[in-house]
Structure 1
Amino acid sequence: MHIKYTISVIFIVTLVIIEKENNIISKVSDKLSTQLTPILFGPSLSAPHNASADQHEDRLLENSTWSTQQSSSPASASGGQKHILLLATTRTGSSFVGEFFNQHGSNMFYLFEPLWHVERMLSVESGGTNASVAGPAYRDVLHQLFLCEFSLLESFIEPAPQDHVTASLFRRESSQSLCEDPVCTPFVRKGFERYHCRVRRCGPLNLTLAAQSCKQKEHHAIKSVRVRQLETLRPLAEDPRLDMKFIQLVRDPRAVLASRMVAFSSKYKIWKRWAVGEDLPVDEDEVRKLKGNCDNIRMSAEIGLKQPPWLRGRYMLVRYEDIARFPMHKATEMYSFIGIPFSATVEEWIQHNTQASKEVSGVYSTQKNSSEQVEKWRFNIPFKLVQLVQQVCGPTMTLFGYKFAENKDMLMNKSVSLIEERTFL
């Protein structure tokens, strides 16, 4: 009797979970389908009001086929514009590297982590980020943003923008494009804007003006730590209106863990307890998360480095350690890969921001004495955690050229580098 009761309860709970997940997927699908229709059809491909579903499908298929055929010569279709997506995970130096594009000058439109809003809404509604829902949502929001269309992003911002005006865009101040004329509207002393522009006082962000500014810029760049799989972004690479370049930034997983334990202390309590020597059983969920992160990074890199036809000439892998040691050289390489002249303003910013003193070099600061940061983690993390990361993330470390520390003495020996010299083509 007890067994039958238990099975019934499990069955009911399972149905509730499935129904909840389906509702979330349905909500996100509604957002995407409603907002993407104008993008998919475009002005010349808009479907007539009396068109049948089959006709709609035929038009989409024709548009998709045309996009694939034309993707071999994107520069002509994109009008010479370059579209850059900096892909990374948290604590890999992506904010620092993103400034290489943010500081470029008046012809670069840069956005800092716009997918934060998407992740936040999906997490609030589901209690966590569901990869099957998040992947398509991230892709489609990025697709629109590179086309200077903000309507889909608006649908994820809370509280909802009024007349396309919001005081809640995440880290607005990290985008020069959103804090300069004409996007910087006159300051109004009412309401609260957490992410206000630092260098000047601006009113709440008008997304219509932001879209207009985006269209006037020659190049567009976005930085994101939320995309898990490069493969999901294939439609961006195959859209003839975009000349996409993907730069994947990676860092030694051991260094990433050490940095996250400091920056996200409340989320890494178990790791910190392990670090101070508490004899706790290995938390399988935490280890599974670590492995999942490493595997996603590695699989994306493996796809990129193989250079399939849709990614040929569009993918570049960069290690944080190489940027930290040779920032000017690596920045020049990135600009060469993209096909944009390296600007004097970026060069000046790099010179100023890679020689920062300890007083200004905080956890979230983009000002670092970068050469000192490369292997600093080795003296801030116990060897037993290093061993665990090496065990779980070994294939990822091998692919990126990070050497294993065989013992505590090797870990602490400054004269022994744990970074292989590598060239990623």
Structure 2
Amino acid sequence: MRRFARFFKYAVGFLFFLVMCRWQCRPKEKVIVRFIPVTVKMDTARKFDEESHLPFEEMLETEVTYGVATPTLAPTTVTPTSTEATSTTVSQTLTTFSLDTLFSNTDRTTNAIEAPTKVAGSDDAVSRVHVLILASFRGGSTFIGELFNANKDFFYSYEPGRTLIKCMKKFDQPFSLFRPKHIEMLDNIFRCNFTSDVMQCYASDLARSPLEKRTREVSALDQATLCSGRWPELIPQSKQCAVVQPKVLTDLCSEHKHTVIKSIRLYDLNDVVALVRDPSLNLKVIHIIRDPRGKAPSWMERRLVSKPNYTVTDLTGKVLESMTAYCQNALENLLVGLSMPNWLKDRYKAVRYEDVAMRPYEMTQEIYRFVGLPVPNTVLQWVHNNTNNTAGGPFSTTRNSAEAAMAWKQTLSPDAIQKIEETYPCKEMMAIAGYRPVFDVKELEDSNVTFLDTFPPQYVPNLKYREDQFHPLFWVP
């Protein structure tokens, strides 16, 4: 019995040793912070399967979705130990991650991202430039798009996603395919390829559109161009002008040096990662954001009722729902765009609409410097003609741009302004984007107060969710 007890003791000790050895020699693990998403009712165009998002490979291992953080274990990868900003990656563990590192390589004065040095005479230095303007409804993107449309070297496509929705309905395709189809459509336009079924439908829709609508969506399709006799085989009998066909679009796109697309239907910056990473496209993404306090009255004017003033009672559930969706979407895209790895940083630029409206000449130079092109005189003349005028409709670009950007100070009542400032996640989005809140009602009467802080910020503040609605959560551990 004594021998058996001794043998059992040694056996248990040996098994314990094996277990501890296996535990110590296991692959290291790290914590990936995942957030339980907060359900936010979106517009119809926002109803996508969030699980189908394609994340950046080098994106921080924190899903930018809003809610309660729940740690999960995942196999680790080797994390760099260098503390230099140029070698710091965004796939850091929770204990070492700080959002301050996201802005270590950003120019604070111009919001321009440091571009890699190009060798003079290299193919990359003189390659075709493709520009994608990512924005939202009533976000000021039409004005930014015209800065490129006024340049005769650019082939300008205005909201092709709107036509895509009509074409998908025509082919009876489910709306769940909109996102991949939209990216495919953008890629085809950038490559001047209009031969697919969707692109032929796009050309057909342009052919049926009135002249004003057609030239707004593709400015190169003006009457003089189509009636020049350049495509005699496409001119119907008893007509003098060619019908818009894929060949016409291909020829016009190819003869321009560069391409720009404006879209308010591209909701997730992650969706364009394949286009951004494609070296043959030389794609530049310009992300336009706008103060939700300025966006709200503009949205209500177009979607609900036009009034000289709006109070807190006008901020109905539909309005707050739209503002919530916009702020959450803008915040997610900002966090993704500003956290890109160094070799992608020269492909993304966040621009505040208010900065362009308040300083149009300076910001025009800055935007063109970002895409690597000089500003032609025609663009400067367009800026002069369209930023010092009080005329213009809701979609017009002719107005006093500075007054238009700050019109919310008189249009919204103080209680309505406070309601928007306290709405989740607009409070967090405004903190990141440099839109400071109103501290005193008298500030609304001062024309010199713009409520614009430095952008991007010198640091990212802790984003604590309101305890009455969400569990406490800090972005910076």
Q: In which range does the TM-score fall when normalised by the shorter chain?
A: 0.5 to 0.7
State the Cα deviation string for residues 306-330 of structure 1 (Å, max 9, x = none).
2225632101111111111111111
Quote the offset at 1:134 in angstroms: 2.7
Distance in 2, matches of 1:115 and 1:379, equals: 34
Relative to its length, the structure with more helix (as a share) is 1
The match for 2:265 is 226
Question: Is residue 2:183 matched to residue 1:139?
Answer: yes
SS of 1:221's partner is: strand
Q: CA deviation at 1:209?
A: 1.1
Q: 2:164 aligns with which of 87, 104, 118?
A: 118
Amino acid at match of 2:450: S
1:399 shift after superposition: 0.9
- What CA distance in whole angstroms lies between the structure 2 residues aligned with 1:423 and 1:345? 30
User: Structure 1 residues 379 and 403 mapped into 2: Cα distance closer, same or farther (>3 Å)?
Assistant: same
Q: CA RMSD in A?
A: 3.9
Deviations 1:366-422 (A, max 9, x none): 111112222111111223332232122111111111111246444444353311243
One-letter code of the match for 2:435? Y
Q: Tell me which residue corresponds to 1:172.
A: 214
What corresponds to 2:451 in structure 1? 418
Aligned to 1:90: 137
**Displacement after TM superposition at 1:157 (Å):** 4.1
Instruction: Note if contact 2:236-2:242 (Cα within 8 Å) is conserved in structure 1.
Output: yes
Query: Which structure 2 residue ranges, 5 or more long, are not aligned?
Result: 1-43, 49-116, 230-234, 459-477
Change in 2 beyond 3 A, CA 1:81/1:424: farther
TM-score, normalisation: structure 2: 0.61
1:382 aligns with 2:413: yes
How many residues are paired up? 334
Question: CA distance change for structure 1 residues 124 and 183 in 2, over 3 Å: closer, same or farther?
Answer: closer
Q: For residues 234 and 115 of structure 1, what CA distance do their matches in structure 2 show? A: 18
CA distance in 2, matches of 1:142, 1:232: 11
Question: In structure 1, how many angstroms separate the alpha carbons of the residues matched to 2:448 and 2:381?
Answer: 31
1:100-249 residue pairs with structure 2 within 5 A?
100-105=147-152, 107-120=153-166, 132-152=176-196, 154=198, 157=201, 161=204, 166-168=207-209, 171-174=213-216, 175-179=218-222, 182-183=225-226, 203-249=242-288
Does the Cα contact within 8 Å between 2:167 and 2:198 map onto a contact in 1? no
State the shift of 1:331 in Å: 0.7
For 1:153 and 1:224, the matched residues in 2 are separated by: 21
Candidates 365, 368, 373, aligned match of 1:340: 373
Q: Pick closer, same or farther for the CA change 1:414–1:84 going to 2, 3 Å.
A: same
Alignment partner of 2:422: what SS?
helix
Residues in 2 aligned to 1:85 and 1:242: alpha-carbon distance in whole angstroms: 11
User: In terms of Rg, which structure is larger?
Assistant: 2
The answer on whether the counterparts of 2:290 and 2:352 sit within 8 Å (CA) in structure 1 is yes
TM-score norm. by structure 1 comes to 0.68
Cα deviation, residue 119, structure 1: 3.5
1:254 corresponds to 2:287: no
CA contact (8 A) 2:139 2:288 kept: yes
Residues 386 and 397, structure 2, Cα contact 8 Å, conserved in 1:
yes
- What is the letter of the counterpart of residue 259 of structure 1? S
Task: Give CA deviations for 1:220-241 in whole Å, capped at 9, x if unaligned.
Answer: 1111111101110011112232
Change (3 A) 1:124 1:215: closer
Deviation at 1:245, TM superposition (A): 0.4
Where 2:160 maps in the other structure, the secondary structure is coil
Q: Secondary structure at the match of 1:223?
A: strand
- Do the aligned residues in 2 keep the contact of 1:112 with 1:172 (CA within 8 Å)? no
Q: Which AA in structure 2 matches 1:294?
A: C
Identical columns (%): 27
| Cross-structure match for 1:329 | 362
Which sections of structure 1, spanning at least 5 residues, go unmatched? 1-20, 26-71, 192-200
Q: Secondary structure at the residue paired with 2:338? A: helix
